[in-house]
A and B are shown apart, each in its own frame.
Chain A
Amino acid sequence: MKLQVSNLNAWYGPAHILFDLDLSVGEGEVVALLGRNGAGKSTTFKSLVGLLERRSGSIVYEGRELASRPTHEIARAGLGYVPEDRRIFTELTVEENLEVGRQPARPGAPVWTPEKLYALFPNLAAMRNRPGGRMSGGEQQMLTIARTLMGNPGLVLLDEPSEGLAPKIVEDMATAILAMKREGLSLLISEQNLHFARLISDRAVIIERGRVRFSGTIAELQANPEVKEAYLAV
C-alpha cells in the first residue's frame, strides 16, 4: 500500500468531525473520496497533512508513520496536497508559485520540471509571468496542481478538482489527472461529482458525517443504486 490510514479521528476546535476513518491507496491507484458537502472530505485531507490542530490515528505512507510529524515533513515524505480553495499565492507569478513548491526529486516518484508541467497544462505556459491573483478559476486550479507536483510527490491528495469549473475545463482536468496517473502517481481525489469521479478513478470511498459508508470499486458502486441514493443524491 502506498498510503494506509487507520482509525483517523479529527477535530475542528471543539467539534469532532472524523470518526475512525480507514482508507488506503495502492501504488499507482486513483481513489475517489466521495460524499456531499460537509461530509468531511476536506477535513480528511487537511487532517492527513497536519493542518488541523488535533487528530489521532495512524497515517502510514510508504511504510513510514506520519501521524506525529509536522506538516512540512509530511510534504517532504512525498504526500502532495492540493487544497480545495486552491490557495494560490496571488501576488506571486505562475513561475514563482511553482518555485515555492519545488523540492528535490524523490526515488520512485515521477520527476516534474516547469517545462513538463507547462506541457501538461498548456494554459499556464502562456502566462508564466502573470500574478496568481489575475488568473481565472480554472487556471488557478491548474496552477495549484502544478505547484504541488513541483514537490515531486509520490501521492497527491486532490481536493475537489472539478468544483466551480466550466464543463470544458473539467474535461481538461480529467485528461490531466489521467496523465498524472500514467506517470505513475497515486492519487486520492475528493469529489462531489460522481460522473467525474467515474471517469478518473479505480476505486471509491464514500464518507458521510465523518464516517466511511462505502468502499469498493467503481463498478461495485455503479451496481449499487441504494448507496448512491443514500449518500450522494439529495
Chain B
Amino acid sequence: MDFLVVQFLTGLAGASSLFLVASGLSIIFGVTRIVNFAHGAFYMLGAYIAYTLTERWSGALGFWGGLIAAALAVAAIGALVEIVLLRRIYRAPELFQLLATFGVTLMVQDLSVLIWGPEDLVGRRAPGFRHSVDILGQSVPSYDLLLIALGPLVLGGLWLLFHKTRFGVLVRAATQDRDMVAALGVNQRWLFTGVFALGVFLAALGGALQLPRDAVSHTMDLRIIVEVFVVVVIGGLGSVGGAYLAALLVSELNAFGILVMPTISLVLVFLVMAVVLVVRPHGLFGKPEGPPRAAIGGLIRPWRPLSGAERLGMAALFAAAALLPLVAGSYVLSVGTEILIFALFAASLQLLMSAGGIASFGHAAYFGLGAYGAALGAKSLALPFPAALACGIALGTLGAAIFGWFCVRLSGVYFAMLTLAFAQIAWSVAFQWTSVTGGDNGLLGIWPPAWASSPAVFYWITLALAAAGVAAIRAIVFSPFGYALRAVRDSALRAEAIGIGRRGVQWTAFVIAGGFAALAGALFAFLKGSVFPDNLGIPLSVDGLVMVLLGGVETVSGAVVGALVYRALSVVLMSQTDYSKLVLGLFIVVLVVAFPRGIVGSLQALLPRLRRARASSIGAAALRPAE
C-alpha cells in the first residue's frame, strides 16, 4: 500500500514535465494550426543549455536562474525558427509542416552532439532539494514533491496569462478565429511568433527541470515527443486543461504499468488511448477539427497508366536491373537489394500518401512487424523461407488492420500523430518484450536457405518481389478501388453523396500498404540476417516520408525514384560525414520549402514546357518520365 502511494507520487512528478511540453504543443497548435514536431528538440535543448548554465553559475540563484535563462534562450531560438522557417509554410499542407519541424529535430540532434558531445550528462542536484522526504515509511525525493507542486502552479499561471493579460486574450481569440482578430487590427505575425516562443519556453522549461532527475541525453527528444503526442491525443489538441489531465493519466499509467505488466508497460497506455479515441475521437477536451485543409496534390494533372512504349521502357529497366549481378560484386549487390527493399517500402507508403491523401508517420511499424514476423517464423516456428516471408506479411497486415482501424477514425494531424504513437508503441513492445523479441539484442541468424543465400540470387528474388509489389500497387491505384480512394481524398462530401464511405476505403488502403511494407521488412530481415527494434523506429518512418517527398508526392510511384536517390545518397554522402542527421535535417527543410514537388513531380511539371518546345520531335515521348 505504502509502495503504491510512492509510485503514485512518482507518476505525479513525471506528469509535470510532460504537461509543460504538451501544453506548449497545444498552445502553438491552437493558434498556428501547426503540430510542432521539433517540440521534443526544444525540450532537449532546454535540458542541455540548463546543464551548461548551472555548471557555470554557482549557488542556488545560479541554479534556478540557469533553468529559467535556459528556457528563455531556447524560446528565443524558437522565435527565430518561427520567423525564418514556419512563416514560409503556414499555408502548406500539414505533411510539409510536420516534416519541416522534424527536419529541425534532426538538426538539433546532431548540433547537440557537436556541442555537448555524445555522452550522457549528469547535472547538478537542485540546491535545497537534495534530500528525500519520508512518506509512509518510504523515501520520496523532495525534488519530486517540488515538481508535483509545479504542475498546478504552471497550470494556474497559464490560466492567469490567458485570462488576465491582453496577449492571452488575443491568443484565445485567435485560436477561435484568426481572420476576425486581424480584421480588428491585430498583427497576426507577431502574435504567432509570440505564441510559438511561449510554447517553446514551456517545452524548454520542462526539459530544464528534468536536469536534477535524469541524465541529459540526445535521445530524450524523441522519447518525450511520442509521449506528448499520446498526451495531446488523449487530452485534445488545443486544450491546456486537457493536457494536464492527460499528462497525469499517462504518467500514472506508466508508473503503475510497470507493476502490472513489467515487460510491456506501454501497452497499458495504448489501451487507454484506444478507449479514449473510440469514445471521444478528438480527445477528452478537444473539439472537432475545422474543415479539412487542402490535401496534397489538390490540383494535379490526372494520373494515367503507362503507355505501351513506357511499359517497354520499364521492362527494359527491369531487365537492366536483373543484369546487375553479372557486373557487380557482393557489396554493390547488397546495396542494390537494400535499395529495392526501400523502393517497395516507399511505394507502399506512397499509396497512402499520394492516392489516399493521408500521411502515416509510423509506417515503419509495418515494415518492422514484417521483419519480426519473418524472423520469428523462421526461428521459433522453423518455417521454410517462403512461409517465413508470408508469416511476416501476415503479422504486418494484422498490425495495420488493428492500428489502422483506430487511425482512420481521425484525419489530418491527429492521424499523423496517432500513426506515430502506434509505431512507437510497437517499437516499445519489441524493445521491452525481451523473451520473444530479444529486446535490444534483436533476433539474429535469420538467413535465407542455401539456394537463396548467394547475393545474386537473393538480389533476384528481391527484385522480382519488389517489382511485382510496385506493379501491384500501381494497378491498385488505377483500379476502381484506387479511384474510390482518390475520390475520398479529393472530396469526402461528394464521395459520401455517391455512396462511398471514407473510413472503409481508407482502412482498406492502410491494410494493403501495411502488407506491402511488411513484405519489404521480411525481405530486409533475411538480407541482414537479423532484426532489431530500430526496424520499427521513427527514423525509418521518416526515411519513408522523405523518399516519397523526394520522388514527388503528387506522383503515382515517384517514391521508387526517391528511394533510389535517397539510399544512394546516404550510402555515398552520409558515410563521408559524422553529422548525417544535420545534413538530412537540412535536406528535409530545403526540400519542403524550396522543392516540394520532388524529382519526378518536377520533371512532370517541366514536361508540358519541354513538349511544347519540341512539339514535332518524336523523341519527346521517350523523355516522358514513368508516370
The answer to whether A and B interact is: yes
Interface centre among B172, B179, B183 (most CB of A within 10 A): B183
Once A87-B177, A89-B176, A91-B176 are accepted as A-B contacts, the answer to whether A49 and B183 lie under 8 Å apart by CB is yes
Interface centre among A49, A92, A97 (most CB of B within 10 A): A92
Q: Kindly state the separation between the CA atoms of A91 and B179 in the bound complex, as whole angstroms.
A: 16
Identify which of A69-77, A162-170, A213-221 touches chain B: A69-77
The residue of chain B having its C-beta at the shortest distance from the C-beta of A133 within the complex is B176
Confirm or deny: A40 has a beta carbon within 8 angstroms of a beta carbon on chain B.
no
Once A92-B169, A100-B169, A100-B170 are accepted as A-B contacts, the answer to whether A71 and B183 lie under 8 Å apart by CB is yes
Q: Mark A46-86, 1 if CB is under 8 A from B, else 0.
A: 00010100000000000000000011100110000101000
> Which chain B residues in 219-235 approach chain A with CB under 8 Å?
none
**Which residues does chain B contribute within 8 Å of A99, judged by CB atoms?**
166, 169
A72 in contact with B169 (CB, 8 Å):
no
Beyond A72-B182, A99-B166, A100-B181, 17 additional pairs, beta carbon < 8 A: A51-B183, A72-B188, A75-B183, A76-B185, A83-B180, A83-B183, A87-B177, A87-B180, A89-B173, A89-B177, A92-B172, A92-B176, A96-B172, A97-B173, A100-B173, A100-B186, A103-B184
Least CB distance from B30 to A in Å reads 11
Confirm or deny: A147 has a beta carbon within 8 angstroms of a beta carbon on chain B.
yes
**Which residues does chain A contribute within 8 Å of B185, judged by CB atoms?**
72, 75-76, 101, 103, 151
The listed residue (A71, A89, A148, A151) touching B179 by CB distance below 8 A is: A71
A96 in contact with B183 (CB, 8 Å):
no
**Which residues does chain B contribute within 8 Å of A102, judged by CB atoms?**
166
Q: Mark B160-204, 1 if CB is under 8 A from A, else 0.
A: 000100100110110011011111111110000000000000000
The residue of chain B having its C-beta at the shortest distance from the C-beta of A147 within the complex is B184
**Which residues does chain B contribute within 8 Å of A87, judged by CB atoms?**
177, 180
Instruction: Give the interface residue-count category, chain B.
Output: 10 to 19
> Which chain B residues in 532-558 approach chain A with CB under 8 Å?
none
Question: Which 4 pairs, one residue from A and one from B, show the smallest C-beta to C-beta distance?
Answer: A75-B185, A71-B182, A87-B180, A100-B173
Q: Kindly state the separation between the CA atoms of A206 and B343 in the bound complex, as whole angstroms.
A: 62
The residue of chain A having its C-beta at the shortest distance from the C-beta of B187 within the complex is A72
Q: Mark A101-113, 1 if CB is under 8 A from B, else 0.
A: 1110000000000
**Which residues does chain B contribute within 8 Å of A90, judged by CB atoms?**
176
Main secondary structure of the interface of B (DSSP, over half): helix
**Which residues does chain A contribute within 8 Å of B170, judged by CB atoms?**
100
A70 in contact with B180 (CB, 8 Å):
no
**Which residues does chain A contribute within 8 Å of B184, judged by CB atoms?**
75, 100-101, 103, 147-148, 151
Interface centre among B177, B185, B188 (most CB of A within 10 A): B185
The residue of chain B having its C-beta at the shortest distance from the C-beta of A101 within the complex is B184
Q: Mark B136-167, 1 if CB is under 8 A from A, else 0.
A: 00000000000000000000000000010010
Q: Kindly state the separation between the CA atoms of A101 and B170 in the bound complex, as whole angstroms.
A: 9
A70 in contact with B169 (CB, 8 Å):
no
B176 in contact with A75 (CB, 8 Å):
no
The residue of chain B having its C-beta at the shortest distance from the C-beta of A82 within the complex is B183
Least CB distance from B164 to A in Å reads 10
**Which residues does chain A contribute within 8 Å of B163, judged by CB atoms?**
96
**Which residues does chain B contribute within 8 Å of A51, judged by CB atoms?**
179, 183
Least CB distance from B393 to A in Å reads 44
Interface centre among B173, B177, B181, B188 (most CB of A within 10 A): B173
Q: Kindly state the separation between the CA atoms of A89 and B188 in the bound complex, as whole angstroms.
A: 16
The residue of chain B having its C-beta at the shortest distance from the C-beta of A77 within the complex is B185
Least CB distance from B160 to A in Å reads 14
Q: Kindly state the separation between the CA atoms of A72 and B189 in the bound complex, as whole angstroms.
A: 10
**Which residues does chain B contribute within 8 Å of A151, judged by CB atoms?**
184-185
Least CB distance from A71 to B in Å reads 4
The listed residue (A70, A89, A92, A148) touching B182 by CB distance below 8 A is: A70
**Which residues does chain B contribute within 8 Å of A97, judged by CB atoms?**
173
**Which residues does chain A contribute within 8 Å of B173, judged by CB atoms?**
89, 92, 96-97, 100
A81 in contact with B186 (CB, 8 Å):
no
The listed residue (B176, B183, B187, B188) touching A81 by CB distance below 8 A is: B183
Least CB distance from A102 to B in Å reads 8
Q: Kindly state the separation between the CA atoms of A208 and B188 in the bound complex, as whole angstroms.
A: 34
Least CB distance from B348 to A in Å reads 34
The residue of chain B having its C-beta at the shortest distance from the C-beta of A76 within the complex is B185
Q: Kindly state the separation between the CA atoms of A102 and B166 in the bound complex, as whole angstroms.
A: 10
The residue of chain B having its C-beta at the shortest distance from the C-beta of A150 within the complex is B184
The residue of chain A having its C-beta at the shortest distance from the C-beta of B165 within the complex is A99
**Which residues does chain A contribute within 8 Å of B166, judged by CB atoms?**
99, 102
Least CB distance from A149 to B in Å reads 11
Q: Mark B433-461, 1 if CB is under 8 A from A, else 0.
A: 00000000000000000000000000000
Q: Mark A130-170, 1 if CB is under 8 A from B, else 0.
A: 00000000000000000110010000000000000000000
**Which residues does chain B contribute within 8 Å of A100, judged by CB atoms?**
169-170, 173, 181, 184, 186
**Which residues does chain B contribute within 8 Å of A148, judged by CB atoms?**
184
Q: Can you offer 28 A-B residue contacts whose CB atoms are under 8 A?
A: A49-B183, A71-B179, A72-B183, A72-B186, A75-B184, A75-B185, A83-B183, A87-B180, A89-B172, A89-B173, A89-B176, A89-B177, A91-B172, A92-B173, A96-B169, A96-B172, A96-B173, A99-B166, A99-B169, A100-B170, A100-B173, A100-B181, A100-B186, A103-B184, A103-B185, A147-B184, A148-B184, A151-B185
Interface centre among A81, A99, A100, A147 (most CB of B within 10 A): A100
The residue of chain A having its C-beta at the shortest distance from the C-beta of B176 within the complex is A89
**Which residues does chain A contribute within 8 Å of B182, judged by CB atoms?**
70-72, 75
**Which residues does chain A contribute within 8 Å of B169, judged by CB atoms?**
92, 96, 99-100
> Which chain A residues in 112-133 approach chain B with CB under 8 Å?
none
Q: Kindly state the separation between the CA atoms of A164 and B265 in the bound complex, as whole angstroms.
A: 56
Interface centre among A87, A90, A97, A147 (most CB of B within 10 A): A87
The residue of chain A having its C-beta at the shortest distance from the C-beta of B183 within the complex is A81
Least CB distance from B162 to A in Å reads 10
